[in-house]
Structure 1
């Protein structure tokens, strides 16, 4: 089984990768989701939707950055499958507040959508639904989710 770089942690579909606020994340933080094929899927300003192997994903961060590995206790495979199936639906990286809009998307909304569409689970812990309006989902809200637990972290070394 594939492991996260520099760790003994097995990669699993549905894992969420969280990076704190730093120069690498434009000081807002970043989240991505692992798919069934163990590729990493994320909305990105220069993407707009990106599919990368774990090594390429980690290499996009600065030396010394830490990427937290978060996992849903009873699995997240279907969220990873949803992300793979919809990453190319993103047309523009944009902080759109319509939570059901996949075409206009940003990192944390895309990861949130993967879980809400796959399991009807709000991983922001804010009782949001696809019909909720006039709101954003931030990376730290996903990091702090009661529905995900920290498995460990990847320390970026270059």
Structure 2
């Protein structure tokens, strides 16, 4: 496997493997138009630079970039516009509830609502 540097694009999904840094469950996020990484986290909702995001993984693990074939631009816009609405990290099952959120739900919502 390669550790090649790949430039980020709006709508890219970053998956963090299961490790002590992710409390053994993994984590995911979405890249915005400003190259910030948007994600819902137990400590809040964040728009991190790549350096900040990497610093959240001090105990190892692997970051995997997933580049969707379509919808990235729109999903990135949705994530940037809605991160401010996330108020609580919660496994709330309804997609229409942005306030109570978690990492994979936020990424799912970005694609679901931007491709309607």
Instruction: Give the TM-score taking structure 1 as reference length.
Output: 0.68
Give unmatched runs, 5+ long, in structure 2.
none
- Post-superposition Cα deviations, 1:99-136, rounded to whole Å, max 9, x if no partner, equal 2110000000000000001114xxxxxxxxxxxxxxxx
Partner of residue 145, structure 1: none
Shift of 1:30: 0.3
Aligned partner of 2:70 in structure 1 is: 74
Of 42, 45, 53, 2:49 maps to 53
Query: In the alignment, which residue of structure 1 is the partner of 2:8?
Result: 11
* RMSD between superposed Cα atoms in Å: 1.3
Residue of structure 1 equivalent to 2:33: 36
Structure number with larger C-alpha Rg: 1
Indicate yes or no: 2:92 matched with 1:96: yes
Counterpart for residue 20 of structure 2: 23
Displacement over 3 Å in runs of 4+: none
Contact 2:30–2:37 (CA<8 Å) still a contact in 1? Answer: yes
Which has the larger share of helix? 2
Q: Which runs of 5+ in 1 are unaligned?
A: 1-5, 121-158
Question: TM-score normalised to the size of structure 2?
Answer: 0.92
Cα distance between partner residues in 1 of 2:61 and 2:17: 8
Report the number of matched residues. 114
What does residue 112 of structure 2 align with? 116
